[in-house]
Amino acid sequence: MVHSMNFDTAFTSEKITGSQLRQFKEVIAKLFKYCQERMRYQSERFGLPEAELRCLLLFGDERYLTAKGIARRMNVVKSRVTKIVQGLVKKKLIQRVRDPEDSRITLLTLTPRGQKKLAEVNRFIDDIHKEVLIQMHPEQRKMLLKDLDLLAAGMEAVKDLMV
């Protein structure tokens, strides 16, 4: 990944044309739309509201999460997370456990059923991503992934400017 590039001054001598800006905006809008459509489809396929599905996906590499951590990562208020968590607990996908080091803290963890559901969702996502990549020649894939890393680094740099 490109992290050290200085996006402020690296390419200021090259003017961005109106057509480049328009094309970039259109591509980003299409990608966002496709991601939203995939999330809606996944939600229907796996029988979970989108917010619950997004929350479930946060457990990917995490054994435990807190409601406060989920709220921060999902960019929603804690009261919204409470409702999302209640839905996942009711479906027996996550459970609440007391933090052994601090009984005032409630941790959230996947149940065996939740682990199975998350594995199903991740397999589906992997299959979709494979289908996208298989549409390209191997050299195009390498170039695309390199360019997406560059795009992500540029977006990260801009995000830092908004804070």
Task: With H, G, I as helix, E, B as strand and everything else as coil, classify residue 4.
Answer: coil
pLDDT in tens, 42-96: 999 999 999 999 999 999 988 999 999 999 999 999 899 999 999 999 999 999 9
Question: Is 7 part of any domain?
Answer: no
Question: Is 39 part of any domain?
Answer: yes
Question: What CATH number did the domain enclosing 35 receive?
Answer: 1.10.10.10
Question: Is 13 part of any domain?
Answer: no
Give the pair of three-digit tokens for residue 40.
């809606």
Question: Is 1 part of any domain?
Answer: no
Q: Distance between CA atoms of 133 and 149, rounded to whole angstroms?
A: 15
Alpha helices by DSSP H, listed for the chain, are 18-46, 50-58, 67-74, 78-90, 112-134, 138-162
Question: Which CB contacts under 8 angstroms, 24+ apart, belong to 96-103?
Answer: 97/64
When divided into structural domains, the chain yields a total of 1
- Cross-strand pairs, 98: 106
Model confidence at 108, in pLDDT bands (50, 70, 90)? very high
User: Which is nearest to 88 in space by CA: 70, 104, 69, 62?
Assistant: 70
Task: With H, G, I as helix, E, B as strand and everything else as coil, classify residue 140.
Answer: helix
pLDDT confidence of residue 159: 83
Question: Is 9 part of any domain?
Answer: no
pLDDT confidence of residue 5: 47
pTM of the full structure:
0.81
pLDDT confidence of residue 111: 96
What domain range is 81 assigned to?
18-162
- Helix (H) / strand (E) element for 62: namely none
Which of 163 and 150 is assigned the larger pLDDT? 150
Q: What is the DSSP string of 98-136?
A: EETTEEEEEEEEE-HHHHHHHHHHHHHHHHHHHHHHHTS
107, 65 contact by CB (below 8 A): yes
pLDDT confidence of residue 12: 60
